[in-house]
Each structure stands twice: as C-alpha cells, then as structure tokens.
Chain A
Amino acid sequence: MGVVKAQRRVRSRGLGTDVLPLLPFLFFTGFFLLWPVIAVTLKSFKGNDNEWTLENFRPIIHGGPYFHSFIVSIKLALITASIGSIIGAFFAFVIVTYVRGRFKNVLDSISAVFANSGGVPLAFMFIAAFGTNGLATKFVRFLGYDIYAGKFTIFSFTGVVLVYTFFQAPLMILVFQPAISGMRKEWREASTNLGASAITYWRRVGIPILLPPFIGAFFLLFAGGFSAYATARALTSGTVSIVPIVIGALVDGNTQASQTNLGASLAVGMIVVALVIMIGYVWAQKRSARWRQL
C-alpha cells in the first residue's frame, strides 16, 4: 500500500520522475564541471589564513603585471580574432560561391582539421617553418624579404599571433559558412529588379544580414584565442605573459597559499571575461536567427 502511495506521490509531482533519467548526466557535469568552477571561485575569495577577503582581486584591478596580463590576453584575442574572422569570412565566401561537390567536402574536412589543430604540435611545426632557420623563413628570404630583419621572432607576441591565425581562420570558415549559404538568391534578384547596383545590394542588404552572424563568429574566435594555453606555452616557454601562462606559473610547483589564491582569482577573472563574451555571442545568435525564419 505504502509503496503505491509513494509512487503516486512522486508521479503527481511530475518533474520528480521526469528528471530521473538525466541524473547521471547532471551528477557528472555537476561534479566535474560546476563544482570545480564553484571551488575556484570560493578559493579566489580566501586569504592566507582561510578567511574571506577581496585582497586577491586587488592586483588584477590596480595595474601591475597581473592587470597587464589581462591586457595582453585581450589584445591577443582581439588581434587574432580580427585577422582570423576577416580571412576566414573571405574563404567562406569563396568556398560557398565557387566550390561545389566533392571538393567542397574535402575543404570542409581540412578546415575542421586545422580549426582543431591548436595545441602543442602546432607550436613546434611553426618553429620548424618560421624559426630563424625555418624553411618558410628561408623561402621568404629567397624571395627577397627577411622576416628576421626587424624585431620579429616566432617566440614573441607576433609569433603567437601568426600561429593562432593558423587555427582561427579555419574555425571562421566552419562557423561562418552557414550564414553565407543562408543568403537567398531571391534577395539579390529583388534588389536588382528594384534597380540596386551590386554595391547598393551589399551595403543595404548583404552586410546588414551578415553582420550579426559575423559578430557572433568573431566572439567565438575571441573566446578561443583568449583562453588558449597549450600553443603559446609550448611556443614561447612561457615568456609571453598571457593570463593562462601567468596562472600556470603561479600555480605550478607553488605551495604558497597566497600564490595559489592569486592564481584562483586570475582564473575567476578569465571566467568573467569569457561570460561577457558569451553574452555578446548569444545576442548575436538571436539577431542572426531573425533572418533564418524568413
């Protein structure tokens, strides 16, 4: 009797049993994703003696090297996302407009490979290609231009920009292609029939429609460039002070509580920047969806 009653009670609450099949997923992500994020946030508000404090955030807000590392990271993300999104958008346009059939599939697969290539191997490949004696360096020198004539080295900020572009642009090709394929031929025809030139069409129709998805993709690239760690770490051995590298140095082999707490507050700072980017991304997604329903 009691069992039946209990069952009925659970069933009548509806949500109770409905959520049961999701429990493994919720437990897993709760423990391995949300809990670490909560833990790092809590830790960032803890002082040396485990007391609550805002001290850890002081060095980030008040200038100095930690503040500077955020500037470097944001600058890196901005530059690589800009270059990557412009080059990627151009390639996406060319692929959608001029490439058909099997070759398009091949290009899509290659883009996917390159977009996922950010990591340790990429860093060493670029050292081989663009290092002081790299083959690409020699080839460009043979053409009459020495990239090492100025201050450039592959191990510098500019070097990291070069390497990041290598995976940012293909990522743009992947995420921006649907937006371009979504442009209807009828829009072009309608504007031509109304007497618009190609320039007017792009200025009044094409660009306004493509701008939201472009901004959305830009934010996605920004997020990737902002949080990437492996490539820059392997390339520069930690000399370019972006936030992830600074965090790594603070936490690595350091048992001092103040240092790890500071590392945690930097990590929370990164989450905050990432969330701001995400809000921009969601906004852009909503704006883009408006045209898809037409």
Chain B
Amino acid sequence: MRISSLQKWFIVGFASLLGFTLFILPVIASSIYSFQEPGDKGYTFKSYTWLLDQDGFFSSMGTSLKLAVLAGVINISLMVPTMVYLNLKGQKFKSLVDFICILPLVIPVVSLAIGAQNAMPSFLQNSQYELVFFFVIIGLPFTYRTLDTSLQAISLKTLVEASRSLGASWIRTIIRVIVPAIRGGITGALFLTFALSIGEYTITSLLHWETFPTWTVVASQQNILGAIALSVFSFVGAIALLSIIALFSKKGVRQAEAEK
C-alpha cells in the first residue's frame, strides 16, 4: 500500500512538473516579457499603449469582430434547423451530414483557400464578407458535435409533438420550444465559431484581407514587442472566452438532463 501511494505521488508530481514547464512556463514567460521595457530597463505598459496608436488596430479589430459575429449567427441559423431535422425525421441522412461536417477538419485549410480563390464569383471575391462563409465552414465540425450532443440530451420528439399538437407552426416550435431547450449548446456553438473566426489567419491571408490576425503579423515587422503584447492579450482573452464556453456548455447539458 505504501509503495503504491509513493508511486502515485511520484507520477503525479512528475506530471505536474512536466505540465508546468511545458505549458504554464511559456505563458508566464511571455506575459512578463510583454511588460518589459526594451533593453531590460524595468517594466512598462509601453508595448500595450504602442498598439493603440497604430493605424489599423481598431479598424482591423472591428472587421474581425464584425465577421466573427456574422459567422456565428449564420452558423447557428443554418445548423440548428438542420440538426433538429436530422435528430427528428432525417435519421437516414445523418451519416451524410456527419461526413460533410468532418471534411473541414480533413481538407487542409490552405487547399480550401486556394480553391476559394478560383471558385468564388467575383462579387464575393471583392467583398471582405466572403470570409464569413468560410468561417462558417471552419466552425461546422464543432457546431455539429455541440448541437448534436445537446439535442440528444433533450426529449426532442415529445417536445415537438406537444408543441405541434397545440397548433404551433414549425418555425414557432423551433424558436419557442427547441432553441430555449438547447440554449447551452447553442451558446457553446456560437462562442466556438466566434473564437475560431476571430483567430482565423490562413484563409484571410491567402485571400488578402486584413483582419486582426493578419494585421498582427504585419505589425510585428515594425515592433515585435507590440506583437508579443498583442498575442499575450489575445491568448489570455481566448482562455477567458473558452472558459465561458466550457461553463455554458456544461451547464447546458446539466440543465437539459434536469429538464428530462
């Protein structure tokens, strides 16, 4: 017994040490670095304030926010009805949709971007809003899983039958009955698409648009400290955002189970 508990402490201790060195240390190191005065002369907010003065900081951030919100909304409006149908009557199409939704993870994003350069009609190519559609595509694998899990956690069929037999239309049923029942999953899917879109670089840069990530790379060529500050800021932001998602989606499932 004593040997096995010693072994346990050894393994856990080793794992903690390894985890700290590999994952926590780089985050701490870069956070401290981002507050450093150039030339090791103490600490300052200079790198952060430098950012605010740069051309394109607010405009590129605005663009990114706008595109990410749109992508999240379109993703949800497209996928909620689709997933409800699949879990209700369209079971036989489920494997097809599942397969399509896995594709964005399989097909290299670079290839998709090169394809988009050739395939999109010119009115779309001339507008930055073309990015929104590809952000939706990139979000599909995650939206599919999240919505599917939360739809399976509720008694969908009973809810729909009750609502329909009380005379509600399909649209009303989805908006007033199903959406509230799976709001945890929807919030999760929305935030995930939003987070992915905010950080998307590959397609954006290959299609030559300026969003926050591409602007960061350009800005880094003038001031690497500024780019580091920006990165620390967005990484910590991502941690906050994804923690909210984790909280919401866990809560959503629990709520759904309680309602069952």
Contacts and interface: CB of A to CB of B under 8 A. Distances in A.
A28 interface: yes
Most chain A C-beta atoms within 10 Å of own C-beta, residue among B90, B103, B118, B246: B118
B156 to A, nearest CB: 15
A278 interface: yes
A82 B200 CA distance: 26
B110 A267 contact: yes
Contact of A21 (B81, B110, B250): B81
Nearest to B114: A267
A169 B32 CA distance: 24
Contact of B246 (A32, A108, A136): A108
A124 B231 contact: yes
Contacts of B239: 110, 113
A124 B8 CA distance: 37
B29 A229 contact: no
A37 B111 contact: yes
A128 to B, nearest CB: 4
Contacts of B220: 124, 234
A35 B201 contact: no
Contact of A125 (B19, B30, B97): B30
A223 interface: yes
Contact of B85 (A22, A114, A129, A251): A22
Given A108-B246, A124-B224, A33 B112 contact: yes
Contacts of B81: 21, 24
B15 A94 contact: yes
B89 interface: yes
A38 B119 contact: yes
B23 interface: yes
Contacts of A114: 23
Contacts of B79: 25
Interface string B90-124: 10110001001001111111111011111110000
B228 interface: yes
A181 interface: no
A36 B116 contact: yes
Contacts of A218: none
A94 B78 contact: no
A166 B30 contact: no
Contact of B11 (A94, A110, A112, A123): A94
A34 to B, nearest CB: 8
B105 A116 contact: no
Given A234-B220, A267-B115, A166 B85 contact: no
Contacts of B133: 28, 32
B145 to A, nearest CB: 12
A169 B22 CA distance: 10
A117 B238 contact: yes
Contact of B137 (A32, A105, A170, A244): A32
Contacts of A189: none
A33 B103 contact: yes
A275 B92 CA distance: 24
A264 to B, nearest CB: 6
A123 B217 CA distance: 10
Contacts of B117: 251, 260
A270 B202 CA distance: 15
A105 B246 contact: yes
Interface of A: 18-19, 21-22, 24-25, 28-29, 32-33, 35-40, 43, 87, 90-91, 94, 98, 105, 108-110, 112-114, 116-117, 119-130, 134-136, 139, 165-166, 169-170, 223, 226-227, 229-230, 233-234, 243-244, 247-248, 251-252, 260, 263-264, 267-268, 270-271, 274-275, 277-278
22 contacts: A22-B93, A28-B133, A29-B137, A29-B140, A33-B104, A39-B119, A40-B115, A40-B118, A108-B246, A113-B238, A117-B235, A117-B238, A119-B199, A121-B238, A134-B29, A165-B22, A166-B22, A229-B109, A230-B205, A267-B111, A270-B111, A271-B107
Given A36-B120, A40-B114, 7 more contacts: A18-B92, A22-B86, A29-B103, A36-B114, A124-B220, A229-B109, A229-B201
